[in-house]
């Protein structure tokens, strides 16, 4: 059926380390989106997935794993090669130590109603590569299969057509996950009220929106027609 509509909800990295007051990489107002996301979890999405940034202690994105002077969290960058092709490289920002496997900072925040989540996907476990996207690392020549998650597969198995992305952080993992969702063939939306950015400036927000728009990701509002369509599924 051409007009089949099977929406999924992807909740990106709603974890302690991305939330005030104690998160190592706290995103302003990060915790405040939990009630909105819990309301979304009550809608009839065919699949509800939460992702977790889940790094080993020696992860390449931690500033502390690099040498002076290029090891300042938030301001230093590192050039990361594709583990399977040194000629493909990717420049990436360095961060404070965050979301280390087995630490409290890696936990989903308790405000999130995980009883309504079908599947939790961990990402970023390969210490050699940064992985903002819940689908795969940013390399394409070739794709780093060892780092890929089972997200695309599980969406396809559920027959998903449309993907609604929320969570943290809008300008990193939400953006990358949404752009990869388009590349995987899904109609993709980011719900503006249900995400927050590391850089919350108007200028940065607009830049992210533009990059998403160029990639075919649509920013929508809670009150928009796309979610009305999801809500209407429970009435039929």
Residues interacting with ligand VGL, by CB under 6 A? Answer: 13, 18, 25, 53, 61, 95, 132, 168-169, 172-173
DSSP annotation string for 181-213: HHHTT-EEEEEEEEEE-SS--HHHHHHHHHHHH
- Secondary structure letter of residue 79 according to DSSP: E
- The two structure tokens encoding residue 161: 């057509």
Residue 123 designated active-site: yes
The entry of Zn ion, ligand VGL, none near residue 169 (CB within 5 to 8 angstroms by kind) is ligand VGL
In the set 16, 53, 162, 209, which binds Zn ion (CB under 5 A)? Answer: 53
Residue 65 C-beta: closest distance to Zn ion, Å: 12
What angle, 0 to 180 degrees and rounded to 10, lies between the N-to-C axes of helices 202-215 and 175-183?
A: 10
Identity of the residue, 168 or 179, whose beta carbon is nearer to ligand VGL in the bound complex: 168
Determine how β-strand 162-168 pairs with β-strand 119-123: unpaired
Identity of the residue, 53 or 180, whose beta carbon is nearer to Zn ion in the bound complex: 53
Identity of the residue, 101 or 161, whose beta carbon is nearer to ligand VGL in the bound complex: 101
Which of 51-59, 79-87, 113-121, 161-169 is the region at the interface with Zn ion (rule: CB under 5 A)?
51-59
Residue 229 designated active-site: no
- The two structure tokens encoding residue 196: 């927050």
CA torsion angle 207 40 109 127 (round to 10): -50
Q: Which residues are catalytic?
A: 13, 123, 173
Which positions touch Zn ion (CB under 5 A)? 53
């Amino acid at each position: 059926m051409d007009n089949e509509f099977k929406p999924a909800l992807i909740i990106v990295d709603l974890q302690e380390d991305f939330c005030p007051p104690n998160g190592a990489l706290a995103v302003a107002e990060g915790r405040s989106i939990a009630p909105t996301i819990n309301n979304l979890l009550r809608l009839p999405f065919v699949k509800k997935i939460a992702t977790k940034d889940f790094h080993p202690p020696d992860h390449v994105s931690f500033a502390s794993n690099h040498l002076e002077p290029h090891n300042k969290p938030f301001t230093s960058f590192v050039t990361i090669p594709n583990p399977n092709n040194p000629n493909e490289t990717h420049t990436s920002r360095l961060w404070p130590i965050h979301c280390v496997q087995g630490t409290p900072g890696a936990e989903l925040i308790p405000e999130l109603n995980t009883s309504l989540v079908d599947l939790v996907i961990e990402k970023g476990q390969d210490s050699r590569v940064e992985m903002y996207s819940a689908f795969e690392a940013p390399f394409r020549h070739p794709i780093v299969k060892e780092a890929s998650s089972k997200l695309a597969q599980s969406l396809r198995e559920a027959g998903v057509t449309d993907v609604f992305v929320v969570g943290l952080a809008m300008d990193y993992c939400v953006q990358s996950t949404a752009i990869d969702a388009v590349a995987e063939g899904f109609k993709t939306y980011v719900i503006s009220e249900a995400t927050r950015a590391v850089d919350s400036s108007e200028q940065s927000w607009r830049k992210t929106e533009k990059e998403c728009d160029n990639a075919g990701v649509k920013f929508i509002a809670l009150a928009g027609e796309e979610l009305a369509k999801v809500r209407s599924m429970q009435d039929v």
